[in-house]
Structure 1
Amino acid sequence: MDASLEIRPAAAADAEAVAALLTDFNGEPVDGPTAARRLAALQGIETVLLALRDGAAVGLCSLRVVPFLSADHPYAEVTELYVAPEHRRQGIARRLMREAEALARAQGAPSVYLLTGFQNETAQAFYRSIGYGDYALAMRRRLI
């Protein structure tokens, strides 16, 4: 295990680091105040886990756990997973996913769901390597 790697929930003080990771991940600028506002809005719904190496944020994983109508247990979904390119292939994404799965399990969710792009073969291969499989077709309709 990498002793210099820490996985912990993001706090309000981490907004700048979260913003930088989101900007890198999505290619759209996110500033600290926006990330802080989003983190505050997630309270009680979604947990952002940060991966820190020697104190610097190098990755994140966001887990949403919510009740849903179809069952008496909560629904858990990983909504974001990102590791900075220079820190990939070092087990960080696996650690983030293990932590997210443990958090989901602790909250009573029997499964974890996630979405990834049809063309994102690298992510698909990673998820399959840790035990995820095809489940459903996700669809959307843009409203704005």
Structure 2
Amino acid sequence: MVSPLIRPARNSDGDAIAALIAGAFAEYEGCVFDRAAEFPELDAIASHFAARGGVIWVAADGEAIIGSLAAAPMRAEGPPAGTVEITKVYVARASRRRGIARALMAEALAFARDRGAPELRLWTDTRFLDAHRFYESLGFVRLPGARALGDISDTSEYPYRLPLAGT
């Protein structure tokens, strides 16, 4: 088996990333994917993250996009200055447990370290138990509390953080 190519996403990858997200949401009852209402950034996904000082990567297996992960400086108050936020972490179900998410996360770690980020932060749906185990296997620690998004899926998310050594 050939390893997937990890590369920065292009704006034209928005539809493929939307398919990844829709596929992940379909695995959970009551988790609704509404691109127009809740994911307008997918229409120009690379430009969206570039405007935030970040980047989104995809894992490509030939022409197929089988994974995504984005990293950008946090916009929220509270975390230490320079903290990098991880978002859009999705891997196609048939491609999981092949190291794709780890390879994507390695790009994000390099991105954060190159910028001297003190830590990584992310939010993950309380229903995504496999994702929680994955993040914890990388050293992320779940922080207290959760936030309700008030979206059409009635999503609640847990916060996670990963301190970066040497920063």
Q: What is the TM-score normalised by the length of structure 2?
A: 0.70
Between the aligned residues of both structures, percent identity stands at 31
Distance 1:49 1:38, change over 3 A: closer
What's the counterpart of residue 106 of structure 2? Answer: 98
Distance 1:18 1:140, change over 3 A: same
Provide the C-alpha distance between the structure 1 equivalents of 2:57 and 2:115, rounded to a whole number of angstroms.
15
Q: CA deviation at 1:87?
A: 0.4
Distance 1:106 1:122, change over 3 A: same
Unaligned runs of 5+ in 1: none
Distance 1:9 1:38, change over 3 A: closer
Within a 5 Å distance, the mapping from 1:65-76 to structure 2 comes to: 65-66=73-74, 73-76=81-84
Q: CA deviation at 1:37?
A: 3.3
Within a 5 Å distance, the mapping from 1:1-144 to structure 2 comes to: 3-27=2-26, 28=33, 30=35, 35-45=42-52, 46-66=54-74, 73-140=81-148, 142=150
Provide the C-alpha distance between the structure 1 equivalents of 2:145 and 2:47, rounded to a whole number of angstroms.
31
Q: CA deviation at 1:34?
A: 6.3
Provide the C-alpha distance between the structure 1 equivalents of 2:25 and 2:50, rounded to a whole number of angstroms.
22
- Asked if 1 retains the 8 angstrom alpha-carbon contact of 2:13 and 2:45, the reply is no
Counterpart of 2:17, as a letter, is: V
Provide the C-alpha distance between the structure 1 equivalents of 2:89 and 2:79, rounded to a whole number of angstroms.
26
Count residues with an aligned counterpart.
Answer: 142
Provide the C-alpha distance between the structure 2 equivalents of 1:26 and 1:8, rounded to a whole number of angstroms.
24
| Residues 89-98 or 15-24, more deviating | 15-24
Unaligned runs of 5+ in 2: 27-32, 153-167
What's the counterpart of residue 160 of structure 2? Answer: none
Provide the C-alpha distance between the structure 2 equivalents of 1:53 and 1:23, rounded to a whole number of angstroms.
19
Q: CA deviation at 1:7?
A: 0.9
Q: What is the TM-score normalised by the length of structure 1?
A: 0.79
Distance 1:34 1:126, change over 3 A: closer
Distance 1:142 1:70, change over 3 A: closer
Q: CA deviation at 1:143?
A: 8.9
RMSD of equivalent CA atoms: 2.9
Question: Structure 1 stretches (4+) deviating beyond 4 angstroms?
Answer: 67-72
- Asked if 2 retains the 8 angstrom alpha-carbon contact of 1:19 and 1:30, the reply is yes
Q: CA deviation at 1:4?
A: 3.1
- Asked if 2 retains the 8 angstrom alpha-carbon contact of 1:78 and 1:112, the reply is yes
